[in-house]
Structure 1
């Protein structure tokens, strides 16, 4: 029995070996046949006989799953033969064959032998490279093919030494081993001038921010970042494309959210119906100006009348402009979720992908500096001038806190723009708003950095008052003699930058007053030493002077910031603001109820409203993007009341000092139209 089994085993083994040998011979014969066929096809083509080439072209053009399409092993032989005979290509006569190969859907190849597929990818990539090197005419076609397919493949790091380590959500790809960047890198190496062609192709094929899916946008952005790892010349262009897309999504999302209340947005984005209760606290939403005016502190009768009149005018303007075809102004939840998902995915990938580039080693070696300079430049030219973005700026908020030198650079840039007289006023105002919000929210900032900015603001404001307070006196002296002329010149609006800077100081103080004490005592109030101030830059003395200046900054700054500052300043014995606030309130009521109305009031309405809106803009209010919020959390200062033990402040909308994590209180400082402001106003009236 044993002998028979051994004989059977020997016979079986011999049979398998013979079968494998026969298959090998068949494959070798088939390869030789295909190679001979390709060679014969080119021989015939040189004799103006294109029948064989046309036959080969038609087979390659068929879909992979077609029963008459070329098989993968056969295609491998054809590609190998074409690479060897590329010099025999006739551009005119072989154009159909080349186009068929370029149009071949190599991403759709499925359910094939893995070894054959690996060989195919290698040969196909080599063919593209050889084709470009032999016929530069096809450079644009090959690069366009590769770039168009970025949306279908998840990005991969090209080399271990790449400056970017991407962290993108994996997408379903039938062939994850395809690496378009190997081909692109080889093309750029063969034809260095191709970097001049690539930017236009990248821009043309960038997925539309609305019609494309989240996966397509994320894949495309990730692949663009891969290019920067082997083609640093395109770093600025690529980041510009990415940020422009994010800005479009950001603005679109803010426009959509304008129709919803905070509670509706919170429920929509946090997805309570999906059971994501654990993430509810991590996605606190704060949007300035989302609460209707009839529910906020600015609820005087005249303001309501102005709002109604403005709304009626807007409706009439819409009809005149031919916009009556808009049937539903309320955004669909699906569209908002789509926008949130796209922005969250892209910005999260940018934040995760750039962290390694700004490590201490990368910065010291000089590798991270060009990228930071690129992002800073784009911030100044694209993000800073854009009206009311809420999300994309957190890329710079995060990366600037990786190293102290980066935050120093970011602060210097903002100060330079804000106080540069060569810049337009609106850009200077935005820079001031960014400066105050960054100082208030960036957790990694040192006391020296905070004190430096505060000292700079105090010095500038003091000098401004000394030099220009006389203009207020001139306005008052001319008021009686030429009232109409004086009122038509814009009045106090000429001092916008002063009020923006003063409000920035108030906002910073509300968040950072603990850092601004000279004695370092962070709890309670202490008696001042005789003749000395216990505050950095003599803040108490400055505020006492500034609020009494002819500029009357408490009247023109954002009301919510003024009210909250007044509470904190009173508790800490910095200054007392309530009497001035009450005086300003009464003056406003008298002006609104007065019979005489300024001739320029209607004409200046839009300009005045824009000024007030700009004052209420805090660029680094809490994020609404769930994934990004978690990434930024470690470097982000949440608003915390910190005064619960004090009866005077318990249960109010105080934004006072601690650096805790109470996000519910955060809504109170950042939403200038908070519903509770009206009740606070009444409480303050009673105190006064």
Structure 2
């Protein structure tokens, strides 16, 4: 018989066919069936052995096990018709055949109901595929659900191909598309081998299982436009929950990213979904870490170190530290603490694993950072940044994907900088604009591969914007007020922060006798900082808005020290007088209560709550596994050795004029405040 030939039973012999739903008599042996997937013919052991022929695109099965598919269809249709009329005997038997919770041996069957053989179950699958329009009727939904809930990915390849066609048939009638997609996406996160193993079948690897799942999804996407529209929704609905372990998250993410290979139009939406979930985990993790005390934080670090050592084979289970308390009175507190440690540790591991996956996923696109592919992918990542990452202020690690890849070329670096500047300065000051300023400052400060000319250009634009805001706000300023001028202070702190990290790159020209690798060789020289840099910084540091009081004290202290030692601007007199300034006197507690400025004196808030925090989104990367991707891209904080010998020494003679000006400013501010209260 040719490999393309089809053997059919003569029509007049159809009456000899026995029902496949009835158990065979003990004197009758079921024949083994051959399902040929590639169209090649196997040599039959007997002349009566039949075969099945179908292709992946549109399988057409003609015969199986000596019975024509037409006769099998007839029997199944008859069973469905009988069930519709109330005769459920064979219908219930058919449904039980798909109950994979039952054993494959005879222990779970009656004497007259022997276990079904694999090839027979495939017959049902093929027949039910042709009856898909009937299965959408209400009386048969329990049968369809039984079919969809059976374990199929762990069976042989022939059964899998037949089952995929049944899924396609069910999806094509429209009634079971959701259930079909839900089943596939639930299996995308499955990592336990026993969950897909079927007794009587050879073991199947996780890799093979994933290949089969994607073959099924690919088939559905090819035949059903509704499936294409539903994939992202289903992917989100079945995404692992926060408490799931890193293997579950990593497996699911890898499968989502794989969909992009055969459904590129869905790729961007699926990647955005992964980033959304990653940011959520990132923010939750950071919130949990902020709430932990030092002891619990240390316990988290120990647990992570032990996990990594165990993964590397360097630590036995009995070497792990035991955090449980031996004191019965403290047992509940100890258990609560252990659970918090476990949750934070799990979140860190999940975040670390998924970040590593995404670094690996994006890396090929930036192999040539000057290519159109790299530019297109960079723009897509920037879109993720503006739409997903930027609004989530406490994200600590997700943004490092962008940090790493945009430093691959000056062009990509400029694309990210332009995006931040567009959000920060192309409209009225806003919350997102303030966040964008923090990202811009942090990127310029920490990006190890950003050239000096880019840093100088951006810093110059930041100073120009800062001076414009100062000129606009000082007209109505009565004193430092974070609630009224937050955007101004955020921008001022950004310039201080950039200067502290990149002051060497901000020097326009270096004297010949300076040793570039020796920071101390710059100290005390009259350096060229470019046009207007010194003037603008001095105007702002000594202005009525008083940013040195509102900006983060740590950043202000480092800026003051460097600016003085490098002869840029002298601000220590302002810092001295700021010790006597209370920010609360310039901030209203409540406008609705009609309170005046003096009423703030009874407010319990200290100056710390009215100052900027030192959040910069590219602060040190802490994930232990994936940090290898950014270590060479990241500029750590390196204090200048020998510069801190005497931080508080300053020449009182040189600062006399400046101190008088500051005192005068404070006096004017206090007078303005009193006059304002009198007017009220």
Answer yes or no: is the 8 Å Cα contact 1:506–1:565 preserved in 2: yes
In the other structure, the counterpart of 2:254 is 222
Answer yes or no: is the 8 Å Cα contact 2:220–2:227 preserved in 1: yes
Give the alignment of 1:579-590 within 5 angstroms. Answer: 579-588=573-582
- Check 1:59–1:569 CA distance in 2 against 1; reply closer, same or farther (3 A cut): same
Q: Structure 1: where are the runs of 5+ without partners?
A: 1-19, 110-116, 155-170, 280-324, 477-489, 651-679
In the other structure, the counterpart of 1:259 is 291
In the other structure, the counterpart of 1:451 is 456
How far apart in 1 are the matches of 2:221 and 2:578?
66
In the other structure, the counterpart of 2:620 is 622
Answer yes or no: is the 8 Å Cα contact 2:550–2:610 preserved in 1: no
- Check 1:268–1:330 CA distance in 2 against 1; reply closer, same or farther (3 A cut): closer
How far apart in 1 are the matches of 2:126 and 2:370?
42
- Check 1:278–1:419 CA distance in 2 against 1; reply closer, same or farther (3 A cut): farther
Answer yes or no: is the 8 Å Cα contact 1:34–1:78 preserved in 2: no
SS in 2 for 1:380: helix
**Alignment partner for residue 122 of structure 1, among 161, 165, 189?**
161
How far apart in 2 are the matches of 1:617 and 1:202?
33
**Offset of residue 455 of structure 1:** 0.6
Answer yes or no: is the 8 Å Cα contact 1:79–1:127 preserved in 2: yes
How far apart in 1 are the matches of 2:191 and 2:334?
38
**Alignment partner for residue 405 of structure 2, among 376, 380, 399?**
399
Give the alignment of 1:660-671 within 5 angstroms. Answer: none
**Offset of residue 546 of structure 1:** 3.0
- Deviation by residue 1:34-64 (Cα, 9 ceiling, x = unmatched): 9577234135247636644542321122436
How far apart in 2 are the matches of 1:48 and 1:589?
84
**Alignment partner for residue 44 of structure 1, among 71, 75, 78?**
78
In the other structure, the counterpart of 2:506 is 516
**Alignment partner for residue 418 of structure 1, among 410, 417, 424?**
424
- Check 1:43–1:624 CA distance in 2 against 1; reply closer, same or farther (3 A cut): closer
In the other structure, the counterpart of 1:598 is 598
1:469 aligns with 2:467: no
- Deviation by residue 1:76-111 (Cα, 9 ceiling, x = unmatched): 3443454567678784565444332211112455xx
Give the alignment of 1:134-533 within 5 angstroms. Answer: 135-152=173-190, 173=206, 175-176=208-209, 178-210=211-243, 212-260=244-292, 265=297, 268-269=300-301, 271-273=304-306, 276=309, 332-360=340-368, 363-365=371-373, 369=376, 371-422=377-428, 424=430, 426-472=431-477, 475=478, 491=481, 493-520=483-510, 522=516, 523=518, 524-525=521-522
TM-score, length of structure 2 as denominator length: 0.69
How far apart in 1 are the matches of 2:574 and 2:210?
70
How far apart in 1 are the matches of 2:242 and 2:311?
30
Answer yes or no: is the 8 Å Cα contact 1:458–1:537 preserved in 2: no
In the other structure, the counterpart of 1:667 is none
In the other structure, the counterpart of 1:56 is 94
**Offset of residue 609 of structure 1:** 5.8
- Check 1:54–1:403 CA distance in 2 against 1; reply closer, same or farther (3 A cut): farther
Answer yes or no: is the 8 Å Cα contact 2:278–2:351 preserved in 1: yes
SS in 2 for 1:599: helix
- Check 1:345–1:492 CA distance in 2 against 1; reply closer, same or farther (3 A cut): closer
**Offset of residue 561 of structure 1:** 0.6
- Deviation by residue 1:555-592 (Cα, 9 ceiling, x = unmatched): 22111011111222222222222222122124459989
In the other structure, the counterpart of 1:684 is 648
How far apart in 1 are the matches of 2:584 and 2:227?
69
Larger radius of gyration: 2
SS in 1 for 2:259: helix
How far apart in 1 are the matches of 2:305 and 2:218?
46
- Check 1:340–1:454 CA distance in 2 against 1; reply closer, same or farther (3 A cut): same
SS in 2 for 1:635: coil
- Check 1:174–1:64 CA distance in 2 against 1; reply closer, same or farther (3 A cut): farther
More helix by share: 1
Deviates more, 1:44-53 or 1:516-525: 44-53
**Offset of residue 368 of structure 1:** 6.2
- Check 1:397–1:187 CA distance in 2 against 1; reply closer, same or farther (3 A cut): same
In the other structure, the counterpart of 1:559 is 553
Q: How many residues align?
A: 539
- Deviation by residue 1:132-184 (Cα, 9 ceiling, x = unmatched): 33x22222221121112111169xxxxxxxxxxxxxxxx98385464322222
**Alignment partner for residue 571 of structure 1, among 554, 565, 569?**
565
- Check 1:583–1:327 CA distance in 2 against 1; reply closer, same or farther (3 A cut): farther
How far apart in 2 are the matches of 1:277 and 1:199?
36
- Deviation by residue 1:642-678 (Cα, 9 ceiling, x = unmatched): x32x2x436xxxxxxxxxxxxxxxxxxxxxxxxxxxx
Answer yes or no: is the 8 Å Cα contact 2:406–2:416 preserved in 1: yes
- Larger RCO: 1 or 2 (CA < 8 Å, sep 6+): 1
In the other structure, the counterpart of 1:479 is none
- Deviation by residue 1:119-141 (Cα, 9 ceiling, x = unmatched): 222222233223333x2222222
SS in 2 for 1:401: helix
SS in 2 for 1:390: coil
TM-score, length of structure 1 as denominator length: 0.69
Answer yes or no: is the 8 Å Cα contact 1:41–1:52 preserved in 2: no
In the other structure, the counterpart of 2:66 is 32
Answer yes or no: is the 8 Å Cα contact 1:385–1:427 preserved in 2: yes
- Deviation by residue 1:507-542 (Cα, 9 ceiling, x = unmatched): 11111111111224533127767xxx5124453343
In the other structure, the counterpart of 1:321 is none
